[in-house]
């Protein structure tokens, strides 16, 4: 393919500005930009991206019109965190035959948490000869990083992981899924007791099992609210969270396999106090034991770069809903994106 990859950016908020800049700098042609926020609609994509010049691509709220008018190769969707909320966006891309990749965390491996939705989208994508997928920070740092280390391991008994991120960096959809701003009683009813709400490491644990060829014997999660001993303001929620109420959640997912290895992964997503930073720590226990710590990972930028780097693999993948463990490992893009097709 000699022409540039033509991309629609769907969602131009906190993360969208990184996507737009990264797409431009990696040689993509941005042909459409979509958002529902009145403060963004009408602005030029170059302005939103902070490029210092216009791309002559206005941010529009009429998604159907953008897809109808743009001959796009791919779409990046940065809208929601759960598959049930993503259906209209992924369906729109698939109906137009546009390959789409999303930051939706459940979309990373949704085959068991949202099987009906995923199979319906898989069928629609195959009918229209395009590929749908989910990716992001977890693709490398909760997935390929661990499988790469495992390549130097003789025996795995147990994998333990702990990761944290500031929900302020991702927008309101992610903050709400983590229960930020709820009272402890509301958190218990809406988050902790909600059996249909998979935490993000639930899906990444399943991704790892699929990559290793492990069959899942059991999987369980515990969702616990995080709190702070002082009032803390959330710019994303546009409210002050009183001391002692939920600033987010800690999720621990334990996955047992028939082959023997156990994965215990914890993710903490919350409104950070002033002294808190992101973390990503993993340990493979077996022969030999190996521990790896990523110091203060920039989770937003890493998420956006991963999706942009995945675009050639998305386009090259077979039609359907294809989770990224079925693709080559994410790679650094040295040259313009279209040169990897």
Q: Are residues 130 and 145 in the same domain?
A: no
159 and 284 fall within a common domain: yes
Count of domains forming the chain: 2
In this prediction, residue 198 carries a pLDDT of 83
DSSP per residue, 35-96: ---TTTTTSBHHHHHT-SS--S-BEES-HHHHHHH---SEEEE-S-SSHHHHHHHHHHHHHT
Cα gap 282→280, rounded to integer Å: 7
**Matching residue, tokens 């999706």:** 307
Q: State residue 172's pLDDT score.
A: 87
Residues 187 and 41 in one domain: no
Residues 330, 278 within the same domain = no
| pLDDT of 1 | 56
Round to whole Å and give the CA distance between 137 and 305.
9
Q: Bin 80: left if φ > 0, else alpha if -120 < ψ < 50, else beta.
A: beta
Question: In this structure, are 126 and 146 located in the same domain?
Answer: no
pLDDT at position 174, please? 86
Domain that holds residue 239: 138-297
In 3D, which of 261, 161, 265, 276 has the Cα closest to residue 213?
261
Tokens of 252: 């621990």
One domain, residues 167 and 84: no
Cβ atoms of 217 and 223 closer than 8 Å: no
Backbone angles phi, psi at 88, to 5 degrees: -65, -30
The predicted pLDDT at position 196 comes to 73
DSSP class of residue 296 equals S
Give the pLDDT score at 167: 93
For residues 127 and 321, give the distance between their C-alpha atoms in angstroms, rounded to a whole number: 11
Judge if 168 and 228 occupy the same domain: yes
89 and 183 together in one domain:
no
* 1 part of a folded domain: no
DSSP for 100-133 reads EEE--GGGGS-TTTSHHHHHHHHHHHHHTT-EEE
DSSP codes joined into one string, 141-185 = IIIIHHHHHHTT-SEEEEEEEEEEEEGGGT-HHHHHHTTTT--HH
| Ranges under pLDDT 70 in the chain | 1
Enter the tokens of residue 324. 């990224």
Six token digits for residue 44:
């030029």
pLDDT confidence of residue 171: 83
pTM over 0.75: yes
29 burial via Cβ count (<10 Å: 0-12, 13-18, 19+): middle
If asked whether residues 213 and 327 sit together in one domain, one would say no
Q: Is 107 exposed, middle or buried (0-12, 13-18, 19+ CB in 10 A)?
A: buried
For residue 316, the SS3 value is helix
Q: What CATH number is attached to the domain comprising 314?
A: 3.40.50.720
Residue matched to tokens 């390959």: 99
Indicate if 306 and 231 belong to the same structural domain.
no
Give every CB contact of residue 146 below 8 A, 6+ residues apart in sequence.
159, 161, 208, 282, 284
pLDDT tens for 233-279 read: 999 999 999 999 999 999 999 999 999 999 999 999 999 999 899 99
259/171 same-domain check: yes
């Amino acid at each position: 393919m000699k022409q540039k990859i033509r991309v629609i950016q769907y969602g131009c908020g906190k993360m969208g500005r990184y996507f737009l800049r990264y797409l431009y700098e990696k040689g993509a042609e941005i042909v459409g930009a979509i958002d529902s926020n009145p403060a963004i609609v009408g602005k030029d994509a170059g302005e939103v991206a902070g490029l210092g010049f216009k791309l002559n691509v206005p941010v529009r709220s009429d998604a159907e019109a953008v897809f109808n008018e743009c001959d796009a190769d791919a779409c990046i969707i940065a809208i929601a965190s759960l598959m049930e909320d993503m259906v209209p966006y992924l369906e729109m891309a698939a109906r137009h035959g546009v390959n789409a990749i999303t930051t939706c965390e459940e979309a990373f491996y949704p085959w068991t948490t949202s099987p009906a939705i995923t199979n319906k989208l898989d069928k629609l994508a195959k009918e229209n000869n395009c590929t749908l997928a989910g990716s992001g920070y977890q693709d490398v740092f909760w997935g390929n990083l661990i499988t790469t280390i495992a390549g130097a391991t003789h025996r795995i008994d147990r994998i333990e992981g702990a990761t944290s991120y500031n929900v302020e960096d991702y927008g309101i959809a992610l903050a709400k899924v983590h229960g930020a701003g709820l009272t402890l009683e509301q958190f218990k009813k809406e988050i902790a007791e909600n059996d249909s709400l998979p935490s993000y490491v639930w899906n990444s644990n399943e991704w790892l099992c699929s990559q290793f060829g492990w069959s899942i014997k059991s999987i369980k999660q515990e969702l616990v609210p995080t709190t702070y001993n002082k009032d803390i303001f959330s710019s994303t929620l546009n409210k002050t969270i009183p001391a002692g109420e939920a600033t987010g959640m800690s999720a621990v997912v334990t996955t047992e396999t028939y082959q023997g290895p156990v994965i215990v992964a914890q993710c903490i997503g919350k409104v950070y106090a002033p002294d808190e930073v992101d973390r990503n720590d993993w340990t493979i226990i077996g022969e030999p034991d190996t521990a790896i710590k990523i110091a203060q990972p920039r989770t937003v930028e890493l998420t956006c770069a991963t999706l942009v780097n995945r675009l050639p693999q998305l386009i090259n993948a077979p039609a359907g809903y294809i989770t990224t463990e079925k693709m080559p490992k994410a790679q650094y893009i040295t040259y313009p994106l279209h040169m990897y097709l």
